[in-house]
Structure 1
Amino acid sequence: MIVPVSGAGLLIQASTSFLLIGTVSEPFTLFIETNSDEYCQYLKTGDLVVISAPEGGELRQARILLELVVAWHVPLVVLPSGHPGSCRLRMVVSAGDQIVMSCRIERGTHPEQTVICSSEELAGMELRSHPEGIEILGLPTNVQLFTVSPDGIQNLIEMIES
C-alpha cells in the first residue's frame, strides 16, 4: 500500500500504540550519538523519520519530537544495551529510506536506523520511502491511518481490513 502524504505526516494508530511518520523535505546529515562513537547518516529528500510510541502517549509530544529532528536536525542519542533508562523512553526515533518495526529490541539502543522498537501489534510492519508517498508493507488489521498537518488530523482511511 502506498499512502500519499504531500507534506503532511502520517499517523498509524493501533489500539495501544502509534507511529508518526514524517518525510524529509530538504537533505541533511543526522548525527547519531552513542556512548563511544558518533555516526553521520545522510538523509535525502523523501526519506522517512519515524516516531514510535510502543505504549501510546501524547500525539503532541510525538509531533514535537518529529519537528526537532526534521526541521531542527537535532541529533539522536543511542543508549548502550541494558541501560536502565531504556525502559523509561516512551517514544523512540528512527530515520532512513526503509524502517522495520520490531517488538524484540530494547528501546533506544540501536544506532542502526533500519529498525525501530514498536509495540507487538505493529511489529513486522515495514515502511519505505516512495516517490508517491510512504509505502507500507505488512500493515496490521484494525489500525487507523490519519494525515497530520499544522491544520489538524484528518482520517485517511476509516479502518484497514485485510
Structure 2
Amino acid sequence: MKTEINLKPSEILFLIGDTGTVGVVKVANNQMLFIGTPEKEEIVMYLEKDDLIAVSAFGTGEKYEKAIKALVYLTREMESPIIVLPKDHPSSKRLKTVLSIGESVQLDCNITPGTHPEQDILCSCDSLSGLKLDKTENGLAINREIENYKIESL
C-alpha cells in the first residue's frame, strides 16, 4: 500500500528508522545544482520546484535532524554543489549525512555512502531501505505504508 504525504516548501518530513533518519523537502524553486564527480567533471542538474531533496543521516534524534536541516539549507538556499567521492575513498566511512535530489529517490542500505553521482539512489539504514520516494505536486508518494515519521516547519 502506497503512502501519500502533503508537504509544503516550508516543511520537512522526517522518516525515522531503527538506526537512521531521512529528511525530505521540496526544492521549492526552479534552479540549477552542480555535482562534482571523481572524474573531475561537473554535472548540471535542472531542478523543478516540486522535486525532492532527500538527506540520509546515520543516526536518530535531534542531533541528526539538525544536521539534516543544515544540509538542506546549504543545498537548497546556498546552492552548494554536491560532491561525489570515488568508490574507495576512506572518508565515505566517516560521512554522517548524504543526499540525493530529483523526481524520485530509492533508499538502499547496500551502497557506499557518498559515492553515487546518480541522484536517484540514496544510502540509508536497513529499516528504511527499499523505500521509493516520488515527487507529487503537493508532496510525495512512498511505495509502501510507513508509520514512524513526522513533519516539522523548516
TM-score normalised over the length of structure 1: 0.87
Which residue, 59, 62, 68 being the options, matches 1:55? 59
Q: Deviations over 1:94-152 (max 9, x none)?
A: 00000000111100000000000011111110001001211111345xx42111214xx
Identity among equivalent pairs (%): 30
Q: Deviations over 1:36-70 (max 9, x none)?
A: 21111111010000000133352111101011111
Q: Is the contact made by 2:113 and 2:123 (CA closer than 8 Å) also made in structure 1?
A: yes
- Cα distance in 2, alignment partners of residues 88 and 119 from structure 1: 15
The match for 1:4 is 6
- Per the alignment, residue 82 of structure 1 pairs with 88
AA partner of residue 63 (structure 1) = K
Q: Could you say what the CA RMSD is over the residues aligned between the two structures, in angstroms?
A: 1.3
Instruction: Give, as a single letter, the amino acid of the residue that structure 2 aligns with 1:11.
Output: F
* Counterpart check, 1:15 vs 2:18: yes
Match of 1:28 in 2: 31
Distance 1:76 1:139, change over 3 A: farther
Q: Which runs of 5+ in 1 are unaligned?
A: 151-162
* 1:94–1:115 CA contact under 8 A, matched in 2: yes
**Equivalent of residue 140 in structure 2, options 134, 143, 152:** 134
Tell me if structure 2 keeps the 8 A contact 1:124–1:138: no
Q: In the alignment, which residue of structure 2 is the partner of 1:104?
A: 110
1:73 aligns with 2:79: yes
Equivalent pairs counted in the alignment come to 148
| TM-score, L = length of structure 2 | 0.91
Structure 2 counterpart SS, 1:124:
coil
Preserved contact between residue 69 and residue 75 of structure 1 (Cα < 8 Å): yes
Match of 1:51, SS state, is strand
In structure 2, what residue type is equivalent to 1:45?
A: K
1:47 partner amino acid: D
CA distance in 1, matches of 2:50, 2:15: 18
1:147 corresponds to which of 134, 151, 154: 151
Question: Displacement, 1:34?
Answer: 1.3
